[in-house]
Amino acid sequence: MPRQTNRPLTVVSLLLGLFLAAMEMTVVSTAMPTAVGDLGGIHLYAWVFAAYMLTATVTLPIYGKLADLYGRKPVMLVGLALFLGGSFLCGHAGSMNTLILFRAIQGLGAGAIQPIAMTIVGDLFDVHQRARIQGILGAVWGLAGLIGPVLGGAIVHWLSWRWVFYVNLPLGLGCAAVLIFAYHEKVERQDHRLDFAGAALLSCAVVLALLAARSRAEGLGFLPAAAVALALFLWVERRAEEPLLPLDLFSQRVMAVSSATGALVGAAMISVVTFVPLYVQSVLAGSPTDAGTAIAPIAIGWPISSTLAGRILPRTGYRTLIRGGLALTFCAALGLSFLLRPGADLWSLRLTMFFYGLGLGFANTPLIIAVQSSVPWKRRGVATASTMFSRSIGGTLAVGVLGGVLAAALAAGGAPLGAVDKLLGPERSFLPPALVRSLSVALQGGMEGIFQTVAVIAFAGFAVSLLFPAIRIAPRSSTTAEAPPDGRAKERHEYE
């Protein structure tokens, strides 16, 4: 007789995994300016994030397909192993180049954690229960994001930026241990063929697009090459027996609009988390703790609105929450573009970040639930991963492009890269005041362009969300109160 899943303990393991993934983003964002001051290479700053997100992004749909073929549990465990191995290596990095390489390895594992956790939730709970659980997951995500900046600042101050990677090890091991003993699934074995050609072409397209963003001259060569790689990727996907991204999924309006909106939401979210700490430490001369607490309010607003969205979703429907959340995010992004000036008040920045997170939380929960409820069980893994893929690819490209904007602004301002690196480390106090002022002006110019672009991205996300279809959620009486014996929840949605 198959062993039964312990749903409470399974949820605990998923909470640990999501806590790990969420804390990783904010802890690293807080520590990276200090790491640049130690290792040098501010022109590679964005690549530390882009390399991690690139490998996580490309593997998202692969893990989603593997989860549908082999089950969620083994895929989640493999992802955790890769993530923890990459974390250990990052803590031993001796240069920015090796740190970027190890972050790529870490991203190979990170691609499994969040989408598989969300997929398991989709399997175990019906739509009404799922809304509440997603709210809890969002709250834990926010709690981790709140702890992350404070913990990151304390680690950098008292230990070393390297320990922001080592802190992942106990959390990841705990998540794996609980999952092994608590979660049991019935997997329908089937023949399969993984789309490695699609994965390779997609990686080439994204890398070439990121290289094109580095400078206008390089863009003339790399951008056409990226377009060719993308065209080849789409051609391969249409002919693959088991494509990396099943293009027929996107014929559904829910999937198409959710994916486009998710890409823009990811771009807006990751850009702020990446560049606000850099601004605080470089232009405002703040400490690592100041940099962390500047973005921490995102993690306060997000769980509040995510939990609330999960509770009221059956009454309000998807569109109201998604549109309202993204409208609020745009207003906060617009305020951010005007607020970040030399001498900006940190408390005003924190308040803006709170509303930014509030808007993201309202939009994110209904987007994920809508996607999961629009496909059958056998495609839920790849559909969830495809949504995460869209959000991650948006963030990856945005960070890469905006990193190119910053590098170009520094080059145009004549700022020596070595001196800019020192601006982020303890050597700052030994730099001539005139040089500090000139470097701050160069960074300010680049940052203004970055945050104005983030506001445009946030507006685009709201505009696309207006196309989201009207969906009526079936009443509770027509859903299954508990998941059936094989652990799969049932739900019924109706399109108006």
Question: Mean pLDDT, the chain, as a whole number?
Answer: 76
What pLDDT, on the 0 to 100 scale, is given for residue 474? 57
Q: How far apart, in whole angstroms, are the C-alpha atoms of residue 72 and residue 277?
A: 35
pTM of the model: 0.67
What pLDDT, on the 0 to 100 scale, is given for residue 421? 57
Looking at residue 472, the DSSP 8-state letter turns out to be E
| CA-to-CA dists, residue 170 to 24, 166, 173, angstroms | 13, 8, 5
Encode pLDDT of 209-239 as tens digits: 767 765 555 556 677 888 888 889 888 888 8
Tell me which of 126-140, 224-238, 263-277, 370-384 is least confident. 126-140
Count of alpha carbons within 13 Å of 495, Cβ hemisphere only?
A: 8
Count of alpha carbons within 13 Å of 378, Cβ hemisphere only?
A: 5
Helix (H, G, I), strand (E, B) or coil at 495: strand
For residue 469, how many other CB atoms are within 10 A of its CB?
15
Sketch out the chain's domains with CATH numbers: 7-182+242-475 (1.20.1250.20)
Q: Which residue has the tokens 């730099």?
A: 431
Handedness of CA 239, 245, 249, 253 (dihedral sign): negative
Encode pLDDT of 63-120 as tens digits: 777 777 777 788 888 888 999 999 999 988 888 888 888 998 998 888 788 778 777 7
Q: How far apart are the first and last CA of the chain?
A: 43
Tell me which of 22-36, 307-321, 414-428 is least confident. 414-428
Burial (0-12, 13-18, 19+ Cβ within 10 Å), 145: buried
Contacts of 187 (CB under 8 A, 6+ apart): 70, 71
| Plot region of 71 (φ>0 → left; ψ -120 to 50 → alpha; else → beta) | left
| CA-to-CA dists, residue 8 to 75, 175, 215, 307, angstroms | 20, 13, 51, 18
Encode 235-254: b = buried (16+ Cβ within 10 Å), e = exposed: ebbeebebbbbbeebbebeb
Give the pLDDT mean for 343-372. 84
Q: How far apart, in whole angstroms, are the C-alpha atoms of residue 388 and residue 111?
A: 9
